[in-house]
Structure 1
Amino acid sequence: MANSKFEYVKNFEQPDKLLPNTWVVVRIDGRGFTKFSTKYGFEKPNDKRALDLMNAAARAVVSELPDITIAYGVSDEYSFVFHKTCALFERRSSKIVSTVVSTFSAYYVHYWSTYFPETPLSPPLPSFDGRAVCYPSVQNLRDYMSWRQADCHINNLYNTTFWALIQQGGIEALEAEKMLKGTLAADKNEILWSKFNINYNNESEIYKKGSVIFRDYELVQPGTHNTATEVDKQAQPIQQSKNQVDKERKLRGKAQIVVEHLDIIKDDFWDQRPWLLSNKPGKGKALKET
């Protein structure tokens, strides 16, 4: 292309590459979802339809982007994990984030009528923002995922108690906030049980643990491998031929993508699913018939 006098504006572009050989987590959040949820009458403390809609959109993102190894969501946020060997988009932050956000937003709007058939969307339409963060080690990544799930439990226990006080206890929001200020988990559990006969342990797992999305293969016996150590020892990504890369992407593309509500803080989840850290397709039940 011929140069022009306007080409100087390219000098304003700044490099936005992410660190190589690191786990890239793209976390998205709903923009203005407090007002949005009120506008469409989301149920409190949790609206199963809204969570199922988030999961449907996130599952579509994982399906379209095979370099995502796992995703975790709660409320109006989702975290998508790209494997450390991923070279997608040349590891440019803006491209990775914009691709995830735009794909998720498009599917959220697309699936809306499936989960909210009686309440069509109207402007302003739902939208999401996002950011990309690099985590250098498996432990850093797992600590991030554990942080999000721990937050899910803490926030849900608070919200469950808060809305029980309002909806069943008949008190005002400010009074409920004052009553819960400084309380511990045990205190909230006691309020739920003594005042409303609610056993928090019996609440749905999707509310207590959030949702985790991944490609499902045959579970592996814990203790038979040490994938985390092996992955962290890699000074740089293992070089593969184009054929090998394409083959593994095709295998991942054939795997069943599941939405589960599991404990991802304990070791068992990761030990039984080494493919989440190795990025190597597993074996068995998840492969679809061809």
Structure 2
Amino acid sequence: MLCGCGLLQKTILVRRWVGRVSGNAGRAMAKSKFEYVRQFEADDTCLQNCWIVVRLDGRNFHKFAEQHYFTKPNDDRALQLMNRCAQSVMLELEDITIAYGQSDEYSFVFNKKSNWFKRRASKFMTHVVSQFATSYVFYWKDYFSDQPLLYPPGFDGRVILYPSNQNLRDYLSWRQADCHINNLYNTVFWALALQGGLTKVQAQERLRGTLSADKNEILFSEFNINYNNEPLMYRKGTVLVWQKVNEIATKQINLSEGSEDKEVKRTRSEVTLLHCDIIGQQFWKEHPEILADDN
């Protein structure tokens, strides 16, 4: 008959033996004959020292906007919701230095030196799109309190690499120029349709072949709308950047005769929304940290 100590020692030895057997079984499973299927996975590692841009777009959002009664040509609630989702992406994911959004699209720029998920393009794209899409559903009620979400929206994504700072700036300039072109057209189109009494087909025909100056003239002469006075968010889109913010916090300090509260100054970074021009030089002079080599 074993004493208490002997029984305990025997139990420990048995547990160690079982652990070794289980561990060996686990390793055997990891090296099973089926593991060859991993060779079918594509190597989607992004090139080093390149800016990684993930751009997402709403899937079939024209239909989605109609079924949820978005205001034309711009729905402030929808744009604010897109911005809130973009903030969520920047706060949750690592190494995003700047983001730019307009209409139903958003571009997220990852640091060129980022090694997040070993720079796998599929990881960048799926994390951004899934975080954005779930945020859209989660925050919907905060912006559309009177309009129930009829079905979850869909977003597609793509990954683009830009090797130089100028390439990246040209990309962002292209998206902002696209914002201006589309918004000017939509502003005139819906003015003709909603205020001018034209059908959608007639409005399209009226605008066929017109230049920016022609569209501005139609807005001003027929509807007394100065396009330059339209909200910057509509004309320029939205830029998200990290900015340092100074704040004062209260800290409790223990003393020999008790404790007291003391104000402490500290600096933290937060995501800031801007509606401004990013094509010219001024923005980049004010935010040199975005393109800095040691970012």
2:94·2:116 contact (CA, 8 Å) conserved in 1?
Answer: no
Distance 2:93 2:39 in 1: 31
**Unaligned ranges ≥5, structure 2:** 1-26, 246-265
1:35 deviates by 0.8
Tell whether the 8 Å contact from 2:82 to 2:104 is kept in structure 1 after alignment: yes
- Give yes or no for contact 1:25–1:132 (8 Å, CA) kept in 2: yes
1:108 aligns with 2:136: yes
Conserved? CA contact 1:69–1:279, under 8 Å: no
Equivalent residue, structure 2, for 1:68: 96
- Per-residue CA deviation, residues 31-59 of structure 1 (Å, 9 max, x unaligned), is 11111111100010000000000000001
Identity %: 56
Q: Secondary structure at the match of 1:89?
A: helix
- In structure 2, the CA distance between the partners of 1:180 and 1:196, relative to structure 1 (3 Å rule), is same
- From 12, 19, 24, the equivalent of 2:40 is 12
Q: Report which of the two structures shows the higher radius of gyration computed on alpha carbons.
A: 2
Q: Which residue number in structure 2 is paired with residue 224 of structure 1? A: none
Runs of 4 or more, structure 1, over 4 Å off, are none
* Superposition RMSD in Å: 1.6
* Alignment match of 1:122 (pick from 144, 150, 156): 150
TM-score by length of 1: 0.82
Greater relative contact order: 1 or 2 (C-alpha under 8 angstroms, separation 6 or more)? 1
Q: Secondary structure at the match of 1:27?
A: strand
2:212 matched residue in structure 1 = 185
**1:197-243, Cα deviation, whole Å (9 max, x unpaired):** 1110110000000000011248xxxxxxxxxxxxxxxxxxxxxxxxx
2:284 to 270, 273, 290: 270
Number of the residue aligned with 2:108: 80
2:217 corresponds to which letter in structure 1? E
- Equivalent in the alignment of 1:22: 50
Q: Which runs of 5+ in 1 are unaligned?
A: 219-250, 282-290
Secondary structure at the residue paired with 1:133? Answer: strand
Compute the TM-score of the two structures, normalised by the length of structure 2.
0.81
Q: 1:260 aligns with which of 260, 265, 274?
A: 274
Instruction: Quote the Cα distance in structure 1 between the aligned partners of 2:163 and 2:107.
Output: 16
Specify the alignment match of 1:99 in structure 2: 127
Change (3 A) 1:279 1:82: farther
Task: Tell me if the contact between 2:53 and 2:160 (Cα under 8 Å) persists in the aligned partners.
Answer: yes
Structure that is richer in strand per residue: 2
- Whether the 8 Å contact between 1:83 and 1:279 is mirrored in structure 2 is no
